[in-house]
Structure formats: C-alpha cells, structure tokens
Amino acid sequence: MTFIADPRSNRVGLTNPVVLETWGDGEIEIGDFSGGSSVVISSRSKVTVGKHVLLGGNVRIYDNDFHALDPILRRNPVEDRGHIKSRPVIIGDDVLIGTNAIILKGVHIGDRSVIGAGSVVRCDVPANEVWAGNPACKIKSLKDGAL
C-alpha cells in the first residue's frame, strides 16, 4: 500500500493530520497510489479505497454512526457501543473526492467517479458520474471516465 500526501500539495484550510481509525473488527484497506491530506477514515466494519484515488483536504469517510440513535443508550458509553450501526464503504479505482466531502456508511462509489467539494454522500454513486451537494446528487455522466 502507498498512501501519498505530497509535500508540494496545497495545504490551505487543512484542519488535522491524517487519521485512520478502526474499532473492534473494523478494517481499512487502501489501494496503491491513493492519497489525501488531512483525511479521516473511521471503520467499525470495513472501508475499502481503490487504487489511484485522490481524497481532497479534510475528506471524512465513516462506515458507522458513532452513537446509537436512542438517547437513553447514548448516556452510557458501554450500552451505546453495542447499538452503533455500521455498513462497509467501498470507493472504486480512479475516484476523485473533493475537499471537505463526507462519505457515510454503506456507500459504494464506482470507478472513475467524482464527488464535489463539500458533498455529503449517503447513497451509492455509479461509475463514471459526477455527484455534488448535500445530500449529494448526480450532476452529470462522464463519457469513458473523462469530462
């Protein structure tokens, strides 16, 4: 695995170091030649990032909700932990995810797709599409993966 954060890249607006966090049975798998700056990935099940993926500054990828929805369960960290929902996230090859985007649990982003800056992705994104917004929606298709 090669996770690249090029020292010549733009560091404007970065909020933290790269954080790769697993809980319990969580796994993070990152393909060769993928990278990002100030990225946070948190896994309780599995997050898979393909090859040649560019993650913009401050991108967040979460395969879990972090806390139970029930406020009574949230009062007790031990109870809360047992009720956290998690579903794998899969990001295909040659994907570009813009700065400050958030990818939520259960999402599959297809090969060569582009996610706009500041987007919140909560559903699957097919290959060769541009998605943006909160919640993210399709902007356009890419012909053969190119604009």
| 75 in a structural domain | yes
pLDDT for 145: 55
In the chain, which stretches have pLDDT less than 50?
A: 1-2
Residue with tokens 């604009």: 147
- For 35-57, write each residue's pLDDT tens digit: 998 999 999 999 999 999 999 99
Tell me which DSSP letter residue 75 carries.
T
pLDDT for 92: 98
Structurally, how many domains does the chain consist of?
1
Per the CB < 8 A criterion, the answer to whether 96 and 90 are in contact is: no
| 140 in a structural domain | no
pLDDT for 12: 61
Q: Which residues are catalytic?
A: 67
| 87 in a structural domain | yes
pLDDT for 5: 56
Element (H, E) at 115: strand 114-115
CA distance 35 to 88: 20
- Across the chain, how many H-helices and E-strands are there? 2, 16
| 69 in a structural domain | yes
Which residue range is the domain that position 77 belongs to? Answer: 3-107
